[in-house]
Amino acid sequence: MKDTILIIGASGQIGTELVITLRKIYGDANVIATDILPMANEELSTGPFEVLDILDQKSLFDIVKKYNVTQVYLLAALLSATAEKNIELGWNLNMRSLSHVLDLAREKHIKKVYWPSSIAVFGPSTPSILTPQRTIMEPNTVYGISKLAGERWCEYYHEKFSVDVRSIRYPGLIGWKSAPGGGTTDYAVHIFHEALKSGQYTSFLSDDTTLPMMHMNDAIRATLEIMEAPAESIKIRSSYNVAGLSFSPKELADEIQKHIPDFKMSYESDYRQAIADSWPKSIYDSEAKTDWNWKSSFNLQELTSDMLTNIKTLVNQ
Active site residues: 143
Assess 227 for contact with ligand NAD (CB under 6 A): no
**Phi, psi torsion values for 246, nearest 5 degrees:** -125, 140
- Footprint of ligand SER on 13-32 (CB under 6 A): none
Which helix (DSSP H) or strand (DSSP E) does residue 33 occupy?
Answer: strand 31-35
- Closer residue to ligand SER, CB minimum distance, 41 or 146: 146
- Footprint of ligand SER on 180-219 (CB under 6 A): 183-185
9 binds, among ligand SER, ligand NAD, none (CB under 5 to 8 A by kind): ligand NAD
Sign of CA dihedral 15, 175, 173, 114: positive
Assess 173 for contact with ligand NAD (CB under 6 A): yes
Tell which one of 11, 30, 80, 217 touches ligand SER (CB under 6 A). Answer: 80
Assess 118 for contact with ligand SER (CB under 6 A): yes
d(CA 100, CA 114) in angstroms, rounded, equals: 13
- Footprint of ligand SER on 140-159 (CB under 6 A): 143
- Closer residue to ligand NAD, CB minimum distance, 38 or 230: 38
Q: How far is CA 53 from the centre of its chain?
A: 19
- Which range, of 23-31, 46-54, 62-70, 156-164, touches ligand NAD by CB under 6 A? 46-54
* Least Å from the CB of residue 289 to ligand SER: 21
> 60: closest CA among 32, 41, 22, 89?
32
In contact, 212 and 170? CB cutoff 8 Å: no
- Closer residue to ligand NAD, CB minimum distance, 257 or 310: 310
Binding site for ligand NAD (CB under 6 A): 8-9, 11-15, 35-37, 52-55, 75-77, 79, 93, 116, 118, 170, 172-173, 180-183, 185
